[in-house]
Amino acid sequence: MCGRYVVSQTVDDLVDEFDVEHVEVRERLEPDWNVAPSKQVYGVLTRRRRDEPDAQPQRRLRTLKWGLVPSWADDPAIGNRLINARVETAAQKPSFRRAFAKRRCLLPADGFYEWRGETKGKKQPFFIHPRDGMLAMAGLYEIWRDPSRPEDDPDAFLWSAVILTTDATDDVGQIHPRMPMLVDPGKWSDWLDPDHTDTDELTAMLSPATPGTLAAYPVSTEVNRVANNGPHLLDPVTL
């Protein structure tokens, strides 16, 4: 699974990295070295404007709440449980299948944390990161309508996301058997295309990270507490 990750890039950095055409960020997020579920995160997605349904879809950057709330949910608290989705079954699961078919996104990250060990309270955190560049984690997003708010209320619609996970590669499998599914830059357009709805083809275009592209090292258990933040969390420690 993926329960914490890091994003230090600015909006301008992400616009350049992901060739974003339109920024829909109401409030810019601060660099976060301990991103946890329920936080707002940056997501890259491709959508048409509601008032221009015949126009070409644009690649957009916006904030999403980490923890997917299906459009049919009665209670948005369901998102607290839906932070990860197994890529092997997401296209069939009721909570994810509509989003998998039409609402896919990329979730940028410097890297992510994973814990090794079996004893509760004694697991060792590791920071896992690309040897070069940044990660584009495969995600799904949904838009949930709050029936208690008028439609013109900017908070009437909750945008949320889930991270797709897969079997870990040898690089990180010794730490944890699952890891975020990553999308290669050459497949970003196809993955984000809202007109591409063949779930078999979409699933086939995803593949685990190429062996050797990721590195991992142990970090302080300070990362275990969500309240702790700052670049010092990435400092390596000696076991």
Active site residues: 2, 114
145: closest CA among 134, 135, 153? 153
Alpha-carbon distances of 186 from 26, 218, 220, 234, rounded to whole Å: 29, 31, 35, 29
Give dist(CA 161, CA 77) in Å, integer: 13
Contact 7, 108 (CB under 8 A): yes
Contact 144, 69 (CB under 8 A): yes
Give dist(CA 55, CA 25) in Å, integer: 21
